[in-house]
Amino acid sequence: MAEYVLQMKNITKTFGPVVANKDVNLYVEKGEIHALLGENGAGKSTLMNCLYGMFDSYEGDVYFDGELVNIVDSRHAIALGIGMVHQHFMLIPVLSVIENVVLGLKENKEVLDLKAAAKEFTELGKKYNMEIDPWLKVEQLSVGQQQRLEILKALYRKAKLLILDEPTAVLTPGEIDSLFDMMRQLTDEGHTVIFISHKLNEIMKICDRCTVLRLGEVAATVDIAEVKDRQQLASLMVGREVELETTTKPVELRDKRLEVENLCVDNDRGLPAVKNMTFDLYGGEILGICGVDGNGQSEMVQCITGLREATSGKIVINGTDTAGLNPGQILGLKVSHIPEDRHKYGMVGPMTLDENLILVSYKQEKYSSRGFLRWKWIAEQSESIIKSFGVKTPGIKELAKNLSGGNQQKLVVGRELERTPDLLIAVHPSRGLDIGATKYIQQQIVEQRDMGTAVLMVSTELDELIELSDRILVVYDGEIMGIVERKNASREVLGPLMAGVRD
């Protein structure tokens, strides 16, 4: 009989009429890596938030270390030995590493003894082979380092059970490997890890057991050793057979749609972010832009779409030099843009769906005449877009912020593809989406390519890039490291280029 460090029994949590968790049982053995798998909205976060004391009320019992506990807030959870590393880090960038570590500790005296804390912290880091200088400011750390800091912070608070929420989303292949090494070391020492993810490969690779959530209920808890392949997990997760491979037709190149010549762009701090980039893009192909986040991809896209000015160089879209054009005029050149951050750029959260669907084309005759919006017609169009792109919503008068991430992205993608672009710029099109939504959106992008659209796809997901792109352009530190053809594209080829190593 295995020893359970955590038992969550018959957890039910409702939000008004919505049942987020229904009779969920989660048993986590001591010393294992337990995956929590499920599509977006399947109830993974709700379950973990119940455990972490984020809700006032829910039904069911939680046993931690064999004892019935009633966790009222996160402080209580931490005191019990539960540590959570959120997908969005809870760090204060302007404070130093060690200040972030001791933040909110009960043992803190009126005068902080940072030196003693730093010593203890450094030893902890050494032990797990992930040292961080305690006196650096958090904003100086890379994303991977920040994540290690979050994990160390939890360990510093004597966490026995570590919850990692989508930890690999922000890491390079190399960083993911060292994260996995660390997770194994932790479990060897008797810690327990709950690994929240929907990346099937990773779960197959690292986890011991896996609880699959579907629509708020437990679909199954399985031993990974007994799982045949990732297809099996995917089917459990979505409740039906899913096609994981995307089939691609051979390339049929059309005319040149985008020409970037010696482009140089500065970032917000006035430092060069894009250095002398030159490339072309033709209709009917997908050009993947591959690289770790923050190597100039954002600035490049912002420059192409007119949101940022180039310091030098030339951009030609569909034969038109875009120098001096504003974003509206550039979108008018039959360009569609799926922005990197849908909340920040792609939609207006407190507006309704139909209001969001006209965001780019509200001035077109289709949607307005003589300065007045044609709401009736807009409503009809919106219904049809929502239907054809499978956006799940109670209606077009729902506020966009109330949709799940996947549905929000479908909304943005639907709006941008409905305009039948010549050039599609898709930035992290599947970021934060579950497998169903990801496959759907990838399929839409491939269909665009087959119809002759030129697609520029920026992504940090290697698998996605390798699977979809006809050519992959690798950027490092604002420079083009190389352009790899589909037939040569593999992790082994791209990995070193992403890290800035040329043969």
Site size with other proteins, rule: CB under 8 A: 40
Q: CB 167 → other proteins: shortest distance, Å? A: 25
Q: CB 355 → other proteins: shortest distance, Å? A: 7
Measured from the CB atom, the residue of 55 and 63 that comes closer to other proteins is 55
Q: Return the range that interacts with other proteins (CB under 8 A); candidates 118-126, 315-323, 351-359, 493-501.
A: 351-359
Q: How would you label 202-216 residue by residue, b for 16+ Cβ within 10 Å and e otherwise?
A: bbbebbbbbbbbbeb
Contact pick of 295, 298, 305, 460 for other proteins (by CB under 8 A): 305
Contact pick of 114, 124, 333, 373 for other proteins (by CB under 8 A): 373
Contact pick of 66, 104, 190, 350 for other proteins (by CB under 8 A): 350
Task: Please tell me whether residue 339 binds other proteins under the rule CB under 8 A.
Answer: yes
Measured from the CB atom, the residue of 101 and 457 that comes closer to other proteins is 457
Task: Please tell me whether residue 270 binds other proteins under the rule CB under 8 A.
Answer: no
The dihedral over CA atoms of 91, 179, 165, 478, expressed in degrees to the nearest 10, equals 60
Task: Please tell me whether residue 371 binds other proteins under the rule CB under 8 A.
Answer: yes
Is the CB of residue 21 less than 8 Å from the CB of residue 43?
A: yes
Cα separation, 339 vs 306, whole angstroms? 13
Q: CB 348 → other proteins: shortest distance, Å? A: 5
Q: CB 267 → other proteins: shortest distance, Å? A: 17
Q: CB 335 → other proteins: shortest distance, Å? A: 11
Q: What is the SS3 assignment for 190-254?
A: CCEEEEEECCHHHHHHHCCEEEEEECCEEEEEEEHHHCCCHHHHHHHHHCCCCCCCCCCCCCCCC
197 CB-near residues (< 8 Å, 6+ apart): 35, 36, 37, 166, 167, 168, 203
Between strands 335-338 and 423-427, the pairing is parallel
Between strands 471-476 and 479-485, the pairing is antiparallel
Task: Please tell me whether residue 379 binds other proteins under the rule CB under 8 A.
Answer: no
Task: Please tell me whether residue 55 binds other proteins under the rule CB under 8 A.
Answer: yes
Task: Please tell me whether residue 344 binds other proteins under the rule CB under 8 A.
Answer: yes
The half-sphere exposure of 218 on its side-chain side, counting CA atoms within 13 A, is: 18
Measured from the CB atom, the residue of 239 and 350 that comes closer to other proteins is 350
Contact pick of 326, 384, 420, 488 for other proteins (by CB under 8 A): 326
Going from the C-alpha of 114 to that of each of 110, 131, 148, 222, the distances in angstroms are: 12, 17, 19, 45
The half-sphere exposure of 479 on its side-chain side, counting CA atoms within 13 A, is: 7
Tokens at 330, concatenated? 């550039």
Q: Which of residues 59-98 bind other proteins (CB under 8 A)?
A: 70, 72-73
Q: Return the range that interacts with other proteins (CB under 8 A); candidates 83-91, 115-123, 352-360, 423-431.
A: 352-360
Contact pick of 44, 337, 428, 439 for other proteins (by CB under 8 A): 337
For residue 29, the cross-strand partners are 4
Tokens at 395, concatenated? 């209606």
Task: Please tell me whether residue 333 binds other proteins under the rule CB under 8 A.
Answer: no
Q: How would you label 458-488 residue by residue, b for 16+ Cβ within 10 Å and e otherwise?
A: bbbbbebbbbbbbbbbbbbebbbbbebebee
Contact pick of 188, 372, 492, 503 for other proteins (by CB under 8 A): 372
- 315 three-state secondary structure: strand
Measured from the CB atom, the residue of 372 and 503 that comes closer to other proteins is 372
Measured from the CB atom, the residue of 331 and 454 that comes closer to other proteins is 331
User: Beta-carbon neighbour count of residue 105 at 10 Å?
Assistant: 12
Measured from the CB atom, the residue of 275 and 374 that comes closer to other proteins is 374
Contact pick of 346, 429, 436, 478 for other proteins (by CB under 8 A): 346
Q: CB 175 → other proteins: shortest distance, Å? A: 29
Residues within the interface to other proteins (CB under 8 A): 14-16, 55-57, 70, 72-73, 305-307, 326-332, 337, 339, 344-351, 355, 358-360, 362-363, 368, 371-373, 375
